[in-house]
Structure formats: structure tokens, C-alpha cells
């Protein structure tokens, strides 16, 4: 690979890292060509971009950003690395868990190495479950709207039922008065 090609890859990666708030690093070494192609197809279906890049180029691209990726560089960027770029923070984690489930027990490849979610670093395979259970921004907004609507609905229903009770009491009192 020429210096110009490497510089172009670094520039492209830097741009992706700066525009995408979520990326995951995986290790897919040991997967057969058939399985890696199946993984790529699954990524494509889910709208996740998967790219295999040399660690040295990833490090140089991350160095161009404002976030400190030193812990990432020390423990995640070793060996074979593939990058998953997504628009939702939990989408790659769910994809990895789905792929592992299909592959069967003891066949957890590609291995989750680390992720950056809005500048927060998650390192190690034990974080995969945590990340897969994260709610997306739209899911959180929906939950908040539901919580905000709930008290208003309770007030309206209380007022409606209270009005019926009040009308019933007035009717009973008027009947007794007659």
C-alpha cells in the first residue's frame, strides 16, 4: 500500500469517526470466508458499515479527533480489527449478539473488542451485553413522551370520573329533597 493510499484511508476514517458518534471494533479472525460474508450481509441489512483496517491506520485516524483514545489504543487495537459504523449506539451490539446466537454456543466470532459511544469508551467483551441493552435516542424520547403523557391522562380521567360522581351525588340529593 502506498503512502498516498494510506493517507486517503486515514482521511476517510477520520471523517467517519468525526461524523459517526458510534463505532465498534471487533476481531473476526478465524472466521471462514463463508461466515465473514454472511456477517457482512447481515451488517448491510441492518444499515451498519463493516470495514477491516490496519490498527496503525485506525490509531492515526483517532489521533485526529478531540477525544483521548489512549486506553483504546493500548488494549483494543491489537491483532485483527474490523470497524462497525452505525447510526444507533446499540445496533452493532445487537447485531453481534444475533450473529453469535445463530452461530451457536462457543462460536462467538467476531469478538467484541471495544466501542466508542458519543465519546465514551467501552472496552472488553463483558460490555457487549450492556451495550446491546442500551436504548436508542428515539426509544428514550418515546419513553419520556409516554411518561409525560401519563400524568395528564390520569388528571383527565380523574376529572371525568369525579364529574360523574358529583352529578350522581347531586341527583341523589335532589331526589331525596323531592
pLDDT, tens digit (0-9, with 9 covering 90-100), for 25-36: 999 888 888 888
Retrieve residue 176's grid coordinates.
Answer: 331525596
CA distance 112 to 154: 45
Retrieve residue 74's grid coordinates.
Answer: 493500548
What class, spelled out in words, does domain 3-134 have in CATH?
A: alpha beta
What is the per-residue pLDDT for 150?
72
* Residue numbers in the chain where pLDDT is lower than 70: 105-108, 152-170, 173, 177-178
25: CB partners within 8 A, 6+ apart: 58, 72, 76, 77, 81, 82, 83, 84, 113, 114, 115
Q: Provide the 8-state DSSP code for 75.
A: H
Say whether 135 sits in a helix, a strand or coil.
coil
**Cβ atoms < 10 Å from Cβ of 91:** 22
What is the per-residue pLDDT for 20?
86
Say whether 52 sits in a helix, a strand or coil.
strand
What is the per-residue pLDDT for 158?
60
Q: Which residues pair with 52 in a beta bridge?
A: 82
What is the per-residue pLDDT for 165?
64
* pTM for this model (two decimals): 0.74
Q: Is 154 left (phi over 0), alpha (psi -120 to 50) or beta?
A: alpha
Amino acid at each position: 500500500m502506498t503512502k498516498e493510499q494510506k493517507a486517503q484511508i486515514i482521511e476517510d476514517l477520520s471523517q467517519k469517526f468525526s461524523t459517526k458518534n458510534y463505532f465498534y471494533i471487533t476481531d473476526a479472525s478465524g472466521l471462514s470466508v463463508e461466515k465473514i460474508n454472511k456477517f457482512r450481509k447481515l451488517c448491510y441489512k441492518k444499515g451498519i458499515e463493516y470495514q477491516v483496517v490496519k490498527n496503525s491506520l485506525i490509531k492515526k485516524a483517532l489521533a485526529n479527533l478531540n477525544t483521548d483514545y489512549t486506553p483504546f489504543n493500548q488494549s483494543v487495537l491489537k491483532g485483527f480489527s474490523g470497524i462497525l459504523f452505525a447510526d444507533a449506539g446499540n445496533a452493532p451490539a445487537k447485531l453481534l449478539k444475533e450473529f453469535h446466537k445463530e452461530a451457536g454456543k462457543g462460536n462467538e466470532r467476531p469478538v467484541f473488542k471495544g466501542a466508542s459511544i458519543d465519546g465514551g469508551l467501552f472496552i472488553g467483551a463483558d460490555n457487549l451485553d450492556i451495550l446491546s441493552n442500551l436504548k436508542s435516542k428515539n426509544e428514550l424520547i418515546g419513553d419520556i413522551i409516554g411518561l409525560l403523557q401519563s400524568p395528564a391522562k390520569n388528571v383527565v380521567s380523574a376529572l371525568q370520573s369525579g364529574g360523574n360522581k358529583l352529578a350522581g351525588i347531586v341527583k341523589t340529593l335532589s331526589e331525596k329533597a323531592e
